[in-house]
């Protein structure tokens, strides 16, 4: 199993998880043409996708889903709360996520997270014993999240903002409160603590995703990652909004 990012940040998110002929797209916050271009960078045509899984209804995760799914007749999985929020989507293959499910070679385990959406979920993907966790949007770390995201081979986790940069930055006060609140987005310190809580000898790759272009920097993220993974050989990667992330193997080679 392997994974790659179409792009990661407040202007659009999308992650592809693949094993053999199964290709699952987790979220699509990019317009149709942009999404197709970004898929092509990874060597994939949209018709090769097996399904789209949507974590929640915010536009940077949902914005391009309906166009991509309708043009290529793809099934779309989302929580009941998300379907309520995006009513009128017009999709013929809308599936409500109710616990773990299978898409081709890949099993998907949805996990409820604290975020300011109707019914937000993040996911653990598994195939042939290899496990990938993706946590792109959550405002705080619950015990349920820590429990669900243990025993992973690879983890992609939100390092959204540096707390001091957010407070000193240009956002209005209400938005600073939202982003920094328990149902907003993880700051670097929170994300580092989560990585420490779930890391074990099995984990070999950590990707920092959904990094704010306004309230964070790759350097701050790398410092936080280095502190949380001090003394380990775990690979540390920062995904970008513009370029996403090239393919990474979930299982060690």
- The dihedrals phi and psi of 130, each to the nearest 5 degrees, come to -90, 140
| Predicted structure pTM score | 0.97
29: exposed, middle or buried (C-beta count within 10 Å: 0-12, 13-18, 19+)? buried
**3-state DSSP assignment of residue 235:** strand
pLDDT in tens, the chain (253 residues): 999 999 999 999 999 999 999 999 999 999 999 999 999 999 999 999 999 999 999 999 999 999 999 999 999 999 999 999 999 888 999 999 999 999 999 999 999 999 999 999 999 999 999 999 999 999 999 999 999 999 999 999 999 999 999 999 999 999 999 999 999 999 999 999 999 999 999 999 999 999 999 999 999 999 999 999 988 999 999 999 999 999 999 987 5
Instruction: Write down the pLDDT at residue 60.
Output: 97
- Asked whether 249 and 2 are in contact (CB, 8 A), the reply is yes
Instruction: Write down the pLDDT at residue 253.
Output: 54
The DSSP element (H or E) to which 102 belongs, if any, is strand 101-103
Instruction: Write down the pLDDT at residue 231.
Output: 82
11: exposed, middle or buried (C-beta count within 10 Å: 0-12, 13-18, 19+)? middle
- Asked whether 91 and 9 are in contact (CB, 8 A), the reply is no
CA 163 to chain centre: 21
Cα angle, residue 197 at apex, residues 191 and 201 outer, rounded to 5°:
115
Instruction: Write down the pLDDT at residue 251.
Output: 85
Q: What is the pLDDT of residues 5-24, one digit of tens each?
A: 999 999 999 999 999 999 99
**Cβ neighbours of residue 196 closer than 8 Å, sequence gap 6 or more:** 228
Q: CA 111, CA 61: separation in Å to the nearest integer?
A: 16
Instruction: Write down the pLDDT at residue 156.
Output: 98
Strand partners, 5: 15, 245
Tally the C-alpha atoms within 13 A of residue 93's C-alpha that lie toward its C-beta.
16
Token pair for residue 67? Answer: 């166009």
Q: Which of 14, 21, 29 is nearest to 47 (CA)?
A: 21
Tally the C-alpha atoms within 13 A of residue 30's C-alpha that lie toward its C-beta.
22
What percentage of the chain's residues is helix, strand, coil (to nearest 5)?
30, 30, 45
Q: CA 227, CA 192: separation in Å to the nearest integer?
A: 8
Q: CA 7, CA 217: separation in Å to the nearest integer?
A: 16
CA 78 to chain centre: 14
């Amino acid at each position: 199993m392997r994974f790659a990012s179409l792009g990661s940040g407040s202007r659009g998110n999308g992650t592809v998880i693949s094993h053999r002929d199964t290709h699952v797209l987790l979220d699509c916050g990019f317009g149709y043409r942009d999404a197709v271009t970004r898929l092509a960078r990874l060597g994939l045509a949209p018709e090769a996708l097996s399904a789209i899984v949507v974590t929640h209804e915010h536009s940077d995760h949902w914005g391009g889903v309906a166009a991509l799914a309708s043009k290529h007749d793809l099934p779309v999985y989302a929580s009941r709360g998300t379907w309520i929020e995006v009513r009128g989507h017009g999709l013929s293959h809308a599936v409500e996520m109710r616990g773990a499910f299978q898409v081709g070679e890949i099993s998907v385990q949805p996990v409820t997270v604290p975020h300011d959406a109707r019914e937000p979920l993040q996911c653990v993907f598994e195939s042939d014993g290899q496990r990938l966790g993706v946590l792109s949007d959550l405002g705080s770390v619950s015990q349920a999240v820590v429990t669900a995201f243990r025993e992973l081979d690879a983890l992609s986790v939100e390092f959204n903002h540096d707390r001091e940069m957010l407070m000193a930055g240009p956002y209005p006060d209400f938005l600073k409160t939202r982003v920094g609140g328990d149902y907003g987005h993880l700051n670097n310190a929170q994300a580092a603590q989560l990585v420490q809580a779930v890391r074990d000898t099995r984990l070999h790759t950590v990707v920092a995703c959904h990094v704010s272009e306004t309230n964070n920097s790759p350097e701050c993220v790398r410092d936080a990652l280095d502190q949380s993974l001090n003394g380990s050989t775990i690979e540390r990667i920062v995904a970008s909004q513009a370029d996403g992330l090239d393919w990474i193997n979930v299982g060690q080679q």
